[in-house]
Amino acid sequence: MYGERLARWERAAQWPMVVAAVVFLASYAAEILAHPGGVVGTIAEILQRVTWVAFAVDYVVRISIAENRWRWFWRHLLDLAIVALPVFRPLRLMRFFTIIALIQRNTESMLRGRVAIYTIGATALTVFVAALAVYDEEKGSNGPISSFGDAVWWSFETITTVGYGDYFPVTIGGRIVAVGLMIGGIALIGVVTATLASWIVQRVSMENEQATAATEAQVEAMRAEIAELKDLLRAGQPLPATPVPPAEPGPRLTP
């Protein structure tokens, strides 16, 4: 849709971007859970900045070589969010939305044929990242979420729209994470449902096309046979004998 150059770049950059996303997530999780200081904290911060540069370079290259550039821009706002959100330093919360954007990127192409795998993986990753973000915001706030385990339980409650009310964020940042998780959960369920419906419709359409093709082939074969019989009749040649099935024996009559 956007040119062969862009397609080649995306194929070449697919796995490097996956590795960059994993590094970004690992450094983000280490910074929150391990509370690294000194050299470890510096390394985690550097890794996040390096991966952000990789995301930015990928975005700039793709928008530069894409055909129908404005159309590509409007249809890839999540990719822009991946690049733009981490700039808002020192808002650590923005990293949560960056990872959510990474999860949603190229969702349709990932889902086709792998609905169950993607659903489980994307849901688990969203729950984990949301728990990290809300724990980062809520720790030390004297709220009900005081440990990472509490944050994981709250994340499961929120994304499934259960909402027991035993754990809830009290800080502004934590509530922003909650809103993002609610929207992300609804969007994930909607995308999975729509893609599954599309896959079912496609399979039914393929079966109908195969049945239609078989019927058309039979009709064409009958037309060819009728045309051959007409030619034989015009030429005065005898028609080919048609085998007659043997008659079934009837009831025997006795005088």
pLDDT digits (tens, 9 = 90+) for 46-86: 888 888 888 889 889 999 998 888 888 888 877 787 777 66
pLDDT digit string (tens) for 127-159?
A: 888 898 899 888 888 889 988 999 999 998 888
pLDDT in tens, 181-212: 888 777 777 776 776 777 777 777 776 666 66
C-alpha dist (Å) from residue 174 to 130, 133, 143, 169, 203: 9, 8, 11, 5, 43
pLDDT, averaged across the chain: 75
What is the pLDDT, as a whole number, of residue 151?
Answer: 92
Question: Which of 217, 126, 212 has the alpha carbon at shortest distance from 177?
Answer: 126
Structure tokens at 254: 């006795």
Among the listed ranges 2-6, 63-67, 91-95, which one has the minimum average pLDDT value? Answer: 91-95
Please tell me the predicted confidence (pLDDT) of residue 95: 59
- Report yes or no: 32 and 132 within 8 Å, Cβ to Cβ: yes
Amino acid in the structure at residue 35: H
Q: How much of the chain exceeds pLDDT 90, in percent?
A: 6
- Determine how many CB atoms are found less than 10 A away from the CB of residue 167: 20
Contact call for residues 64 and 9 (beta carbons, < 8 A): no
Is pLDDT above 50 for 90? no
CA nearest to 81, candidates 97, 64, 63, 62: 97
Residue 25, pLDDT score: 81
Return the higher-pLDDT residue of 95 and 113.
95
Question: What is the rounded CA–CA span in Å between residue 97 and residue 181?
Answer: 9
pLDDT (0 to 100) of residue 150 = 92
Residues sharing a CB contact under 8 Å with residue 240, sequence separation 6 or more, in sequence order: 232
Q: What's residue 152's pLDDT?
A: 92
CA-wise closest residue to 101 among 184, 192, 12, 11:
184
- What are the tens digits of pLDDT across the range 5-32? 888 988 888 788 878 878 888 888 888 8
Contact 81, 97 (CB under 8 A): yes
Q: Which of 42-51, 214-223, 244-253 comes out lowest in average pLDDT?
A: 244-253
| Tokens encoding 136 | 């980062």
CB 58 within 8 A of CB 13: yes
